[in-house]
Amino acid sequence: MASLRYDDAQYCVPQTLVCGGVGITVNGTIATTATIFAIKVPRAMKVTRVSVYESTGGTGAGPLVTIGKSLAGTGTVSNFGTANLAGTVADATGFDMTLTATALADGDFLVIQKVAGTAAAAPIANFAVEYQVGMFDGA
């Protein structure tokens, strides 16, 4: 009898991908929408949650960031989540991004972008993407 591991795909155990390492600076004035993080997913997955951690917060209106997918890296990004890094935010503050759970196919790109606009703050943030692989609808 083969033993199964806790992270075996059939259990759909949530896994986490931390995007940003020591932090991504999201500039206060953004001329055009720009990608701040992208990674090719190695297998089908479903993104179920994204937590944002601002290691350096700010005061005033902050920038808007989105998370989306690019079909096989074609360049067109379909967003499925947003976070507004706005208001007076203390250092070391965490919150969840607003999103719709979305499936990505093997070879798609997971993309985080900063949206064009002007903001008073330039926070430094990390993004923890929670996802599942395995047997789920829509993969």
pLDDT tens for each residue of 25-36 = 777 677 888 888
pLDDT tens for each residue of 28-85 = 677 888 888 999 988 889 999 999 888 877 776 678 889 999 988 788 999 999 988 7
User: Could you give the dihedral angle defined by the CA atoms of residues 123, 18, 113 and 122, in that order, rounded to the nearest 10 degrees?
Assistant: 10
The pLDDT value given to residue 111: 94
The residue with tokens 């903001």 is 119
What domains can be seen in the chain, in order of their start residue? 14-132 (2.60.120)
Whether the model pTM is above 0.85: no
3-state helix, strand, coil in the chain (%, to 5): 5, 55, 40
Distance CA 106, CA 96 (A): 25
Task: Classify each residue of 81-116 as buried b or exposed e, where b means 16 or more C-beta atoms within 10 Å of its C-beta.
Answer: bebbbbeebeeebeeebebeebbbeeebbbbbbbbe
